[in-house]
Chain A
């Protein structure tokens, strides 16, 4: 039925478009008819039974229809006597309201799209300004059609439906560390600065008014103050839009951004206080009322923040237990965030501050608690909402302007307002900075102050507040609205455009380059340690004392309460960046591999393998399986191959290309290696932040470790009598290594089993795909092994630890608790699934399979090209044992290579072990395999096997 319905509808529409449409009632409408409208007529024509359609839609644009919506609505829903069954009916009326809304959203989105088509324009004029300009055009069109502005930004829509998600987004993505370390300055700017602006602007305007600068207006002192409070709302949306373009340094950015965010809340509070003063009327205000106003100011502001924090706690708690409803857990932040906004609004507390703090406080915990995919979802949805409503707001700010009704011109008032707004902004910032700089380690520089002052862009919040003014109390409401609009246009468009040249001209310190050098990283860490030590030596309770105290409290109590135990224990904070970087790298490798992928390369690799085979293929040893994994991976991965090649094994040819890749890899991975394993200094550095690299908690183990080490070395230097400074201590082997080795006894079996289990298909080429799977799966899964303190880094993507294998298999089979509960568990699942999918797809033809696998070598070896380090890597000094060679040792994954590593350098006899493995995987039904498999079969094992066979 439905199908027929829609078919018919399509037909009707089609015919109505092609046929000439008889306009039944032209009704003198001025609108230029769009296709849409023709449709209305057409369909209406066909279905005359539904006459109400005509009444609503004919002769009007949809826009206009909204205006008249209310009038037509009642009649539209009158039951009608119908003489026949309507096949389809056209119910514009029915959908009108949401339809228009969605159309506007669409139009706003399209205008953004159009803007972004040309980057040259947006690099000169900030997007926000352009959107306002587009708004002018759209508003002009509507005006032309309706002779009135039917679409304006109403405070209700703005404060209830457009603003919350923007603020939530800002709070959620707030660089917490930076924000809180500059909290003092931000609060001072936001609270004192705003009050100063409001008061000074209001009073000055009043003074000028009394002085007769603006003619005859019906505005009293209180109204001026009220106006001053609303006009001092620095808009975070406009600020971000402009400052994101110019990339100023982080401290400056967070100051401006944080200020504008909190300032919004403060302004609204201030506005409400003054508003109640105005309602009270001048004569009734005495000292008590003023004190009440001040108290209410603080109660409202801090109460709002408190509500936000409470909701953040609730939210974090909820996400602790959303394991079983992962699919909707991402929604909670939006719901609860909005709820915090509404709750604060209900309690007449500051809703903006509430939702800000909700976002700021919950981000750490929910990111740790939720599944990684949910986190990604949240991030994206957040951005979609925020960006969307931001676009809407600016467009509507433009549209609103095209309305004769609101424009009241008073040159004195408008120009003076503009002047005072700018002037007091500068004065406020300079004075407050001067005070702040007395106590800042790094003073805020003069040019930064200039940019800060100049960055005081006004935006929709000011407009929303202006529209909310009660015209009964304030007779000059329209003047205020138009002044506000002028100020907004002036700041957003003019200041926005000039901001970039200004920043360039003043040579404001820009944001540091994102790519951090390894040497910088090392030294930064060293600096941290040094500062720490010096502070301790000076014996003072330093800047970091409170931070430290808070961190301890946070770690011991708050995290305990709000975070799932697993991410908490595994020091999840580091996972984020670590995982992300790995992900990025893997992506790069794959892309690069695809780009450069050629069968020729594959063949070369095969040659290498064949060499091994020829030479040592017949030997079978116990060790073999493990090494087998290693060599197998040389199909997908250069590393082992190269490591063999580095050793003087005559039969192996040296392939320069691989070495190049090798070099790059070392470079890329070294970052991660360090990232993970540099000792954290006790405190974190203030002005450095990374969105994903949260706080640095020093683990107890680490402290223990350093302590023992320090003591040991001191003891040693004691023993070896004082020979000055005793340098060059032998780097001690650590007990942990032995422990790891023990663990490593087993994994080989699992790996082998895994290979065989996955390699059900007896076709030989499948082996390659399996390898690929392992490779693909392991990088994601190896993150898991972190909690067992087994370290892994990207070089050894292809190695899978004992633990990993299990979890891998589970991931392949069904997502059990184990892999699920881990924040990144699902990633494995995803990856293995896709890998196996492609595997089975290519299962039939050797060609496709080959095609698939041939790029796998590249995925590992290729990657970010960094030729700078190639030459060195080619001829490493003997001491420079290539890390990839020994990688397996540390990550405790592949037994064989680990053992082999201890017997470095490799000798042909050791390599010999590798060969049989190769043979066995090629045909996994071979007895070799069977032998290996039989001994200890893990209870978990059958599962993946079954799963595989189903595929």
Chain B
């Protein structure tokens, strides 16, 4: 299965993905076989249903949001390139990468890109602001039923107040970055991909 899957992947694709995402060759083939096994439709792209078949995601409160993050706006399919591009956000920042890309375009796993990924989970309407309602929705997903809407509302209010510097009662991305500057995002938004 794995070997068949990787054979479907052309070398030049791998090279491109490698350049774009920073994954190693073996990581790419490994993830491709995973991609392939998720792809029940066998059409080289994943649909939302493909993701939703992953059992653990059903019990992940943010599961649907995260699935959505894999799909470009307005599309229902994600190909391997897109899949890898999203996953690349979670590649740990390596030492030699810290200074390398100063002038080049920012790598996908940079701190701000990691944060942007998280930010997008909140920002449904893509206006680059987390409104109170948007925050409330995410909170509601992450919080048990025992908490009342009003309490949640006050939490949302306070959260926004903590982050909001310009007083528009929304969290902009820059505010989002600023308020989380003490958080070790590089670490908290990274997983180890097998080599």
Contacts and interface: CB of A to CB of B under 8 A. Distances in A.
A514 to B, nearest CB: 11
Contact of A533 (B66, B139, B144, B171): B66
A222 interface: no
Interface in A517-561: 517-520, 522-540, 542-543
B118 A441 contact: no
A575 to B, nearest CB: 15
Interface in B95-146: 95, 117-118, 121, 124-125, 132-134, 136-146
A577 B190 CA distance: 27
A522 B147 CA distance: 15
A323 B193 CA distance: 49
A540 to B, nearest CB: 6
Contact of B118 (A526, A725, A789): A526
B123 to A, nearest CB: 10
A889 to B, nearest CB: 5
Contacts of B76: 722
B64 A517 contact: no
B182 A530 contact: no
Contacts of B26: none
B56 A682 contact: yes
A507 to B, nearest CB: 15
B194 A540 contact: yes
B59 interface: yes
B82 interface: no
Given A531-B90, A872-B161, A543 B191 contact: yes
A728 B62 contact: no
A534 B118 CA distance: 12
Contacts of B142: 522, 525-526, 529, 678-679
A556 B154 CA distance: 36
B124 A530 contact: no
Given A441-B187, A538-B34, A542-B191, A736 B149 contact: no
B56 to A, nearest CB: 4
A523 B62 CA distance: 12
A674 B142 CA distance: 10
A537 B118 contact: no
Nearest to B75: A724
Contacts of B17: none
A711 B87 CA distance: 25
A442 interface: yes
A542 B139 CA distance: 26
B180 interface: yes
A543 B189 contact: no
Nearest to A727: B124
User: Residue among B70, B117, B132, B145 with the most chain A CB within 10 A?
Assistant: B145
B37 to A, nearest CB: 7
Interface stretch (A474-482, A593-601, A702-710, A808-816): A702-710
A534 B66 contact: yes
A532 B56 contact: yes
Contacts of A522: 139, 142, 155, 159
A681 to B, nearest CB: 8
B158 to A, nearest CB: 5
Given A520-B179, A527-B118, A727-B125, A674 B58 contact: no
A179 interface: no
Interface in A841-893: 868-869, 872, 876-877, 879-883, 885-887, 889-890
B189 A705 contact: no
A790 interface: yes
A30 to B, nearest CB: 62
A887 B150 CA distance: 8
A707 B57 CA distance: 9
Given A679-B61, A731-B140, A868 B161 contact: yes
Contacts of A666: 154, 157-158
A543 B90 CA distance: 14
Given A522-B159, A728-B137, A872-B157, A533 B60 contact: yes
A325 B170 CA distance: 56
Interface in A391-450: 441-443
Contact of B192 (A441, A677, A885, A886): A441
A886 B54 CA distance: 38
A731 B139 CA distance: 11
A681 B194 CA distance: 22
A790 to B, nearest CB: 7
Interface residues of A, number: 82
A119 interface: no
Most buried by A among B87, B133, B171, B184: B184
B20 to A, nearest CB: 17
A529 B62 contact: yes
A734 interface: yes
Given A522-B139, A542-B192, A710 B161 contact: no
A80 interface: no
A706 B147 contact: no
Contacts of B187: 441-442, 687
A709 B145 CA distance: 10
Given A532-B56, A713-B64, A441 B190 contact: yes
A513 interface: yes
Nearest to B151: A883
A527 B143 contact: no
B191 A883 contact: no
B171 to A, nearest CB: 8
Contacts of B153: 879-881, 883
Interface in A662-677: 666-667, 670, 673-674, 676-677
Contact of A667 (B34, B145, B158, B194): B158
A798 interface: no
Contacts of B132: 879
B61 A534 contact: no
B28 interface: no
Contacts of B154: 666, 670, 673, 880-883
Interface string B62-87: 11101110100110100000000001
Contact of A714 (B52, B171, B192): B52
A725 B76 CA distance: 10
A518 B137 contact: no
A736 B191 contact: no
A685 B185 CA distance: 12
Interface string A463-502: 0000000000000000000000000000000000000000
A214 to B, nearest CB: 42
A172 B139 CA distance: 35
B14 to A, nearest CB: 17
A690 to B, nearest CB: 15
A140 B186 CA distance: 55
A793 B151 contact: yes
A876 B58 contact: no
Given A522-B142, A526-B138, A713-B64, A537 B150 contact: no
B124 A441 contact: no
Given A677-B143, A677-B147, A790-B146, A706 B157 contact: no
A520 B180 contact: yes
Contacts of B189: 527, 530-531
B162 interface: yes
A707 B158 contact: no
Contacts of B141: 709
A536 B146 contact: no
Contact of A530 (B56, B58, B121): B121
A678 B143 contact: yes
A876 B157 CA distance: 9
Interface string B25-64: 0000001001001100000000000011010111111111
Given A512-B182, A687-B184, 5 more contacts: A533-B66, A538-B87, A703-B59, A706-B61, A793-B151
The 7 A-B residue pairs whose C-beta atoms are closest, nearest first, are: A791-B146, A883-B154, A886-B150, A881-B150, A734-B145, A727-B124, A883-B151
16 contacts: A519-B171, A519-B180, A526-B118, A529-B62, A530-B66, A531-B190, A536-B57, A537-B34, A707-B59, A734-B145, A793-B151, A880-B153, A881-B150, A882-B154, A886-B148, A890-B148
